[in-house]
Structure 1
Amino acid sequence: MHTKDRIIRQFGITSKYKGYRYLLDAIHIAAENYDECLKVTKDIYPVIAHKYGVTKVSVERDIRTVIEKCWDNNKAYLQELSGYKLSRCPSNSEFIDIIAYKVYCSK
């Protein structure tokens, strides 16, 4: 199991959520290109939407749903991963960056 999979499962998230696979793909893309300045809405969502034959809007929504569940299930772990105080649930791009950074640094 890859680092990103283990991290997401620490939040109690499994493949029963559509956004689970989308989020793993988004983290993979972000981690593989961490040295570049990627825009989630322009560089990541379209790739995932094309891969799964869905809209960018559904990719964004399903990822947001998973991130909100992560926040609800284990705020403390997310705080630890981020390395800074989170006063609210992170945005999709913020969450993807937090996990991608962790994956990128563990290579």
Structure 2
Amino acid sequence: MLEKESFYQMNGGERKMRMEERISRMLITLGITSRLKGYAYLITGLQMAIKCPECVTNITKELYPDIAKEHKTQPEKVERGIRHAILVSQTQGSMIKLNSLLNCEAYNMGDKLTNSRFIALAAERLRYMALDGEQE
């Protein structure tokens, strides 16, 4: 387990790698695997949302275009890929695990979780985990 300060004492590359690993584990736990395009888009989007929480409030005009630029695709494809990844998780029943990962009642069976809500909640949890030196 990381000490509170140790995450921020790492160099930028180490921090990015550690955060990417945490994001990947969270997504895989939720049934969102690397075979889905939305998986890569979510990793990038969550990293961006962790650094800049405000970008989630303007997801269509800010976050999707930034993710699309990074992946050399179109914002519409990013939005669709993320929506599909979340839907796959919900269909498999894996999204119910989101509540335990986030330590709150963020999702109820039958709910349709929006991309922006999912990204905002997951990014906030990952940010707190990094600050607290928590492991998932």
TM over 0.5: yes
Q: For 2:32 and 2:43, how far apart are their aligned partners in 1?
A: 11
Tell which deviates more after alignment, 76-85 or 62-71.
76-85
Could you give the per-residue CA deviations for residues 25-50 of structure 1, whole angstroms, max 9, x where no partner exists?
1111001113xx22111221101111
For the 8 Å contact 1:27–1:100, the answer to whether it is kept is: yes
Q: For 1:103 and 1:78, how far apart are their aligned partners in 2?
A: 12
For the 8 Å contact 2:32–2:86, the answer to whether it is kept is: no
Tell which deviates more after alignment, 9-18 or 55-64.
9-18
Q: Counterpart amino acid of 1:22? A: Y
TM-score, normalization by structure 2:
0.70
TM-score, normalization by structure 1:
0.87
Aligned residue pairs, count: 105
For the 8 Å contact 1:30–1:96, the answer to whether it is kept is: yes
RMSD: 1.6
Runs of 4+ aligned residues of structure 1 deviating over 4 Å after TM superposition are none
Name the structure where helix makes up a greater proportion of residues.
2
Q: For 1:92 and 1:29, how far apart are their aligned partners in 2?
A: 14
